[in-house]
Chains A and B, each alone.
Chain A
Amino acid sequence: MILPFFVIIPLGAAFLISLLGKKLKNFADLLANLATFSLLVFSLYSISQVFAHKILVYKVGSWIPPIGICMVLDGLTSFMLVTVNLVSFLVTIYSVSYMEKYTDKYRFYTLFMLMLAGMNGIIVTGDLFNLFVFLEIASIASYALVAFGTEAEELEASFKYAIMGSVASTFILLGIAMLYSYTSTLNMADISSILSGKPVNTIVGFVTVLFLAGFGLKAALVPFHGWLPDAHPAAPAPISAMLSGVFIKTLGVYALCRVFFNILTVSDRLVFVLIVLGLVSMVVGAFLAIAQNDIKRMFAYSSISQIGYIIFALGVGTPLAILGGLFHLFNHAVFKSLLFLNSGAIEYSVHTRNLEKLGGLNSRLPITGYTSLIGSMSISGIPPLGGFFSKLIIIIAAIQAGYFISATVAILVSIVTLAYYLKFLNFTFFGKLDELRLKIREVPWAMRLSMIVLAIICVASGLLIAPLFKPFLESAVNVLLLANGYKEAVFGALK
């Protein structure tokens, strides 16, 4: 049974690194990379397990689930595990060189592994309170990682993020408490089956609002987005890549759709709220991104805008739209982490992130230049790249479902996205090179390697909707379409 290893490996690695990392040189690098690589292998293996068994349930301590905690492996779980562990593996390779400039590198890896344990835990767990605990583990590690540089700006960003994140967590806990008082159980499948037996009650509506506020803040949807543009740029580049690439999707989008689609039922009003939140995030994020002069800040606002696409697609809710939303989630994880790694490479070489002070870097940093070209083109939806297909699917699905105005807005936002990524490329890689920078060299091989691999995935990710790979996405979509059938699937697997 592979499921508990997704939590055990990063937790064990975090423990060993904090214990031995200071004494043994390079031990932290080696163990962290080994751990994330084995996690990637396990998560790829989980795909074949899902195809063989449909759904697997692991009973923690062999307690039978409504009493004990269970872990569930289904299509959506395996899809998210692949996304998270793929990005985290490439990011740890990148950190080997990038984190050299910080002292206490092993502490960085310890926190990184804890964050990864939290994220994997959220994905695999089948118990609502367990989800809260893993969510807090991931959040606390990320507050500390944002403040890792301990400069004035980083501390300020981390403080803001920690306060808002903690308030969001208490909202989620309050929601869980109310749901427990109403259903007397914490197991997700059991809650779902008890709720379906009871008449519709206002308490479920109140819990929905609490979860929407809590997970919405973790996902940085627009009324709750205030922390993201500070926190993501302040963190070291590998952590920015993790936070923007997979963190907000795991804690926000994944938890949101697991709770709303599989446990509580999706009502018409909730669909309306999701669509409005998605559209507002899309537009506000894109327009705020244009005005930025800090590269990472621009990318952070762009993340808000792209999360808007995913939430909008989930709100539309037809099978095609959910496929597009999850596909865009994967694509965004890949290209946004690539772009944040690029911004880290730029900062590594020229020690500034201000667009006005950059220019002509393409001649000196060719690999960074071309990989960020691929990343930018993919996120703005230029045809052969992955981002084009996911946006196209979302827009087609919106038109099919009759949301004409929303689909038009999505297209227009896509054009704005292209505009600000062209601004980024133009100011950074084209134009005249500062004479003081004639001698800068391309970044070390570890950083180059992970950027190149991510760029290749960016180009190839369009293949995910090709008939050969489509079942991988479809098995994830089916879990969300199953809605209330989730409980039968889990209880069926227990027999």
Chain B
Amino acid sequence: MSEYILCFALFCIGLYCVLRKRNIIKIIIGLGIIEYAVNLFFVLIGYRTHSRAPILAKGQSILNMVDPLPQALVLTSIVIGLAVTALIVAIAIRIYEKYGTFDITKIRRLKG
């Protein structure tokens, strides 16, 4: 149970980072922490104590095995997270070129 609580704490740390930090790079890092917390949670769902990877081999019978589906899904989700992070970092670099700052409170040309 404690690992789920820690996982939730990680999620909350990431959310706090996105909501409260002023530097846009820190916001991007916070987004990464949120994604990892969710991925970790997803992997934990498939975990069984004292079990092994579900790889079939001749002459072996596996009694306890972990659920492989969440692992496959998390791989997909990590790739998606990578794409999003790369795009946002690229945007952040262009923002720095235009505004000359990473401070989110000074990047405010849009309002209303």
Contacts and interface: CB of A to CB of B under 8 A. Distances in A.
A157 B109 CA distance: 9
Interface residues of B, number: 34
Nearest to B83: A140
Contacts of B66: none
A181 interface: yes
Given A152-B98, A155-B95, A170-B34, A162 B73 contact: no
B91 A162 contact: yes
Interface stretch (A143-151, A237-245, A328-336, A389-397): A143-151
Nearest to A172: B38
Nearest to B108: A156
A103 to B, nearest CB: 15
Contacts of A177: 38, 41-42, 45, 70
B112 A297 contact: yes
B42 A173 contact: yes
A312 B5 CA distance: 36
Contact of B77 (A143, A147, A158, A173): A173
B107 interface: yes
A442 interface: no
Nearest to B111: A230
Nearest to A162: B88
A180 B87 contact: no
Contacts of A129: 73, 76
Given A162-B87, A174-B41, A153 B110 contact: yes
A163 B95 contact: no
Contacts of B70: 177, 180
A133 B45 contact: no
Interface string B82-109: 0110011001101100110000000111
A291 interface: yes
B80 interface: yes
Interface in A273-318: 291-292, 294, 297
A181 B67 CA distance: 11
Contacts of A181: 45
A153 B80 CA distance: 26
Nearest to A150: B94
Nearest to B19: A167
Residue of B15, B69, B92, B108 contacting most chain A CB atoms (<10 Å): B69
Interface in B16-55: 18, 24, 27-28, 31, 34-35, 38, 41-42, 45
Residue of A155, A162, A292, A297 contacting most chain B CB atoms (<10 Å): A155
A159 interface: yes
A166 interface: yes
A152 B77 contact: no
A229 interface: yes
A150 B110 CA distance: 15
A292 B112 CA distance: 7
Contacts of B99: 152, 156
Nearest to B96: A155
Nearest to B41: A177
Given A129-B73, A159-B24, A170 B35 contact: yes
A155 B91 contact: yes
A133 B110 contact: no
B108 to A, nearest CB: 8
B38 A133 contact: no
A144 B31 contact: no
B84 to A, nearest CB: 5
B84 A162 contact: yes
A136 interface: yes
Contact of A155 (B94, B108, B112): B94
Contacts of B24: 159
Residue of B31, B91, B95, B108 contacting most chain A CB atoms (<10 Å): B91
A147 B91 contact: yes
Given A166-B31, A173-B77, A152 B41 contact: no
A291 B112 contact: yes
Contacts of B107: 156, 159
A167 to B, nearest CB: 6
A174 B87 contact: no
A153 B91 CA distance: 12
B45 A170 contact: no
Contacts of A143: 84, 87-88, 91
A155 B98 contact: yes
Nearest to B36: A170
A157 B110 contact: yes
Contacts of B69: 180, 186
What 9 pairs between A and B have smallest CB-CB spacing?
A: A152-B98, A181-B45, A177-B42, A136-B80, A230-B110, A155-B95, A162-B88, A170-B38, A170-B34
21 contacts: A136-B84, A140-B83, A140-B87, A143-B84, A150-B94, A153-B109, A156-B108, A156-B109, A158-B91, A159-B88, A159-B92, A163-B27, A163-B28, A166-B34, A166-B84, A169-B84, A177-B38, A177-B45, A180-B70, A181-B45, A294-B112
Given A136-B83, A143-B84, A159-B24, 7 more contacts: A136-B80, A159-B91, A160-B110, A163-B27, A174-B11, A177-B45, A292-B112
